Each structure stands twice: as C-alpha cells, then as structure tokens.
Structure 1
C-alpha cells in the first residue's frame, strides 16, 4: 500500500509531462509534414553530372582500325 502512494503521483506527473510535450509539438507544427522526411530517406537528390574535359575525351578515344587491303 505504501508504493501506491508513490506510483499514483508519479503516473500523474508522467502523464501531465507527456501531454505538455505533445501540446508543445502540435503548437510548433511538428506534425505538419509527416511524408517529407520519409521521402527524403528513400529518394536521394540527383548528383550533378561532371563535364568531360579534353584530357578525358582523348584518353578513351579509339582510333579506327586500318584495313590491310589499302
């Protein structure tokens, strides 16, 4: 019975604290856009494509093969 006098006020205090935190979150628009964060995880931003430089173009250029019959 002694623990009853401790647990009931603790439960009331915990419930009041949880309600206060929830009301604060609603007033500060924490629940306005619930979908955006989920989409940010799933879909990454596209990385900008790198421009080719002259050195890069010449490095992978294949010369046409010469025919033996010429």
Structure 2
C-alpha cells in the first residue's frame, strides 16, 4: 500500500472480503467487541465472506436486537 493515502488504504481494506474466522481474532481492534459477538452476529448468514463494514452493520443490528 505504498504511495496510498490513508483514506485510499482504508477504502481498500473496507472493500476486501474476509471470512468470519479471519475477522474474529481481530474483533476488539476492528469492532470494539469480543470475538463471540462477531460469531453470534454472523451466525446463520448465508454469505461466507464479508467486508469490514458489513460486519460492523451486522454487529450493530445484533446488539440492538430484542431478547426473547
């Protein structure tokens, strides 16, 4: 990523696709939550690969969901 601005590098990282297994070890750094929250937020998803932004949105939805 030499020669790229921070915004370009961030955009490129955001567009990359990752599996849940790749994202869970970095949950606290990327999303500010424990890896169990990432696992729960992605549980049952038909997609296998996600962008960082997609996972952020899924975590936000998961955290707002009402407990039954």
For the criterion TM > 0.5, the same-fold answer is no
TM-score tier, shorter chain, comes to under 0.3
Greater C-alpha radius of gyration: 1
**TM-score normalised by structure 1 residue count:** 0.27
Which structure features the higher share of helix residues? Answer: 2
Scaled by the length of structure 2, the TM-score of the pair is: 0.28
